[in-house]
Amino acid sequence: MKKHFIKVVLSCAIVMGSFSSCKNSSSSKDVSRATGWKINAKEGGFQYNSDFKEQETPPGTVFVEGGTFTKGKVQDDIMHDWNNTPTQQHVQSFYMDETEVTNVMYLEYLDYLKEVYPPENPNYTNIYTGALPDTLVWRNRLGFNETMTNNYLRHPAYAEYPVVGVNWVQATQYAEWRTDRVNEAMLEREGYLADDTKYKVLNGELDGTFSTEAYLNNPNSVYGGEIDSLQGKQKRDSVNVFAKRSSGVIMPEYRLPTETEWEYAAQALVGSREYNNYRGRKKYPWEGDYTRNGQRVGRGDQLANFKQGKGDYGGIAEWSDDGADITAQVKSYKPNDFGLYDMAGNVSEWVADVYRPIVDDEISDFNYYRGNVFMKKAIGEDGKVEILTDQIVYDTLPNGKIVAMNLPGEIKEVPVGEEETYLRTNFDQSDNRGYRDGDPGSSRFFDRFSDEEDNRKMYDSPQFKAERDSTGKLVRKYDTSNFRTSLINDEVRVYKGGSWRDRAYWLDPAQRRYLPQYMATDDIGFRCAMSRVGSKSKIKNKTVRHKKAK
């Protein structure tokens, strides 16, 4: 009896020990909980960055923790635009540029384009010229502004001033370029590329350049196919090692913020503990209903750069002065509670959204955005993604400006088709800019009852067109139709925030205006954003919260 008991105890111990062993092994970050196989084994198999903690804050940005807020709550509707509908929205966490993109930041972009794609080469001429800001935006029929026309972009006195004269198309292209340059530097830092590889492109030592998407999908296509000789310390035993998304090294793309993100970041409710602010009653990016500082230090100082009255762009010299007449150097005023500068005043800013004067009452209440055009990578006959090595697609904007829609070495993209949309419930076409935008086609049963007369679109703005003839001469075509009813179309974009030219009325983060995406002004700039991948909050913030709770 005693021996039998001992056997039972021993067998139980062995069984428990085996379970314990399995539990310990499967809990290891380098052992799969699905199969029990090793991860990142030297022998081969599945490779994954099991040490990844959280997304690194991208260069030039600050972290904006997502949350809920009331979007579109305009405090003063003097103009009676009625182009906003207050809605409760939730925004995912993201990163946003600390300041507007400055002249020196944009000049770095222009210098890169000029060095890598010399404009004297006929194939590249319009790459550089298409990216140039319109410096003539400073001119006024009855004003002397030639100093800004000649100096504002390039003179070092204006280096840290926000870049202006950039249209929406140019701003998005800058963001795409910036994505590639940052990821190129990240791959160097992490040893996937040899040190100073990025400068070899600028110095002409390499024929090709770097594209993030091309690298991820076909790494042998970047740098003109010479990447084998550019491997960094990650290379093992003469075997090339390329970073993947699973490596955690490649950052998401820089882009323009959505209107919802921009408005949420400008309101900065993170620093507010007032219930009314949460319900959308915060008038400015700072606390209070006034534009002057009410604190003891700096009492009476203006909190933003804006037009204070007719003929008053800065106040009386050395008294009641906001320190600027045109734009101001970035960081001249206090940041909001997210650490973002000039979210009111200085320059208005482009956002990603297509403008519509109404907001659907059944809109998405999670990351709302109008402007989705879903694309996919073009696959060639060989089953690989198509790389636009020598092909540059140019577009002539309605104002005659020619811009490059891609740079050499990028991946060709095409609209999604029926193979992606068939029987889907979340989208059924590639271009969704006009989805439920208030026109007759937005009606649920429009297809059943519409006729030729009703098929007219609500948003039928004039169709101006500029194109080049066989001799290269610019031919401008004006729209002479008498049946246009709107200035709004799918190429009209939202811009937010007041500028140095605007009265305090426009400093309200909920205010919104629009401009065709090919136009530029002397009071509209932009800043970039980047989505956060992973947790809503930073890990260190979570730790602080747990400590406070204890």
Specify the pLDDT at position 301.
77
Specify the pLDDT at position 158.
97
Specify the pLDDT at position 272.
65
State CA 380 to chain mean position distance.
29
Mean pLDDT is lowest, of 63-77, 301-315, 424-438, for 301-315
Q: What pLDDT digit, counting tens, does each position of 344-373 carry?
A: 999 999 999 999 987 776 778 999 999 999
Q: Is the pLDDT higher at 280 or at 441?
A: 441
Mean pLDDT (whole number) for 328-332: 95
Mean pLDDT (whole number) for 16-43: 69
Q: Is the pLDDT higher at 431 or at 298?
A: 431
Specify the pLDDT at position 4.
53
Specify the pLDDT at position 22.
43
Q: Which residues contact 203 (CB under 8 A, 6 or more apart)?
A: none
Mean pLDDT (whole number) for 300-319: 82
> What's the token pair of residue 181?
């340059």
- The string of DSSP codes covering 222-287 is GGGGTGGGGB-TT-BTTB-----GGGT-SPPPPBPPPHHHHHHHHH-GGG---HHIIIII--SSSS
Mean pLDDT (whole number) for 281-292: 77
Percentage of the residues of the chain whose pLDDT score is greater than 90: 52
pLDDT band at 470 (very low <50, low <70, confident <90, very high): confident
pLDDT band at 12 (very low <50, low <70, confident <90, very high): very low
Side chain identity at residue 227, one-letter code: I
Assess contact for 386 and 379: CB atoms under 8 A. yes
Q: Is the pLDDT higher at 204 or at 111?
A: 111
Q: Following CA atoms 236, 239, 242, 246 in sequence, which dihedral angle do they give, to the nearest 10 degrees?
A: -70
Specify the pLDDT at position 279.
60
Q: What pLDDT digit, counting tens, does each position of 379-428 carry?
A: 988 888 999 877 788 888 888 888 988 888 899 999 999 999 999 999 99
Strand partners, 279: none
The ranges assigned to domains in the chain are: 27-56
Q: Is the pLDDT higher at 135 or at 22?
A: 135
Mean pLDDT (whole number) for 70-90: 84
pLDDT over 60 at 21, yes or no: no
**How would you classify the pairing of strands 394-396 and 87-91?**
unpaired
